Structure 1
Amino acid sequence: RARDLLRQHYGLSLPAPTGSPNDPLDIDSPAFDAQGYYTQLVAVSSLPTLLKRSNDLAEEIRQLETDRQALVYNHHHELVAASDTIRAMKSRAENVDLELDKLRDAFSEISRIGAKLAIEISSREKR
């Protein structure tokens, strides 16, 4: 299930469901029995059929390995991108902190000047 979700997330083709989910002779089943599959395959198949099945399995293994490498690469790429984004956000947040400090100082200065002006206006009105 997790493999299918990852395949779906990365847009990789999903394998068509085959057989029963509990069939021990179905290679894609969670209940797969390798020894039973091998015994059954050797008992009923000719040599050319066995060679073809061997080639098919080797090709499927190569394809699964390619898919796995693509998943690893995509995860790695996304992790690097996320790390870069977090680093950029941290840098911007530090700059925002500096700007907020400047703004706080400016408001303090404005308040100080406003209070001083209020005192001067008040003293002029009393005269």
Structure 2
Amino acid sequence: MKKTIILSLLSVSISAAGYATPLTGSLIDQRTAFRAPVSSEKKISTDYNVRITLVDIYGNPVSGGTGLRGFWARNEATGEYYYPGGQEDEDKFEGLPAGTYTFGAYPGAWEGAVQKTVTLSNPEVGPDGYVVVQLTYWVE
């Protein structure tokens, strides 16, 4: 009886030792080939389109031409400046990375616009796909 118990324990320990040894060859390749890479950091990158509109000190839209010489945007985290597209889209910024921006205008001889800082986010996106930033226009 002692021999039977000892032989049983010996076979169990040998079997357990076989499972404890590292896998080699094609078996390990098959197991790791289907494993998805694990990333500890999820990175979501969203780009936003922004349209600048001008309003007077009462919040009414400014109509007609102005003497402003264009608009700019500065990413507050990186300090990088962005400029609108061509002349036909001089009030639109396309594909700004998510973040907080200060928007402003290059002043004219007797006029300008008050800078505004905005954090771009999904709830701010309008039905046309643009975040609208209103700058207050002033004239001396």
Please indicate the TM-score interval, normalised by the length of the shorter structure.
Answer: under 0.3
* Bigger RCO (CA 8 Å, 6+ sep): 2
Structure-1-length-normalised TM-score: 0.27
Structure-2-length-normalised TM-score: 0.25
Higher helix share: 1
Q: Which has the larger radius of gyration?
A: 1
Higher strand share: 2
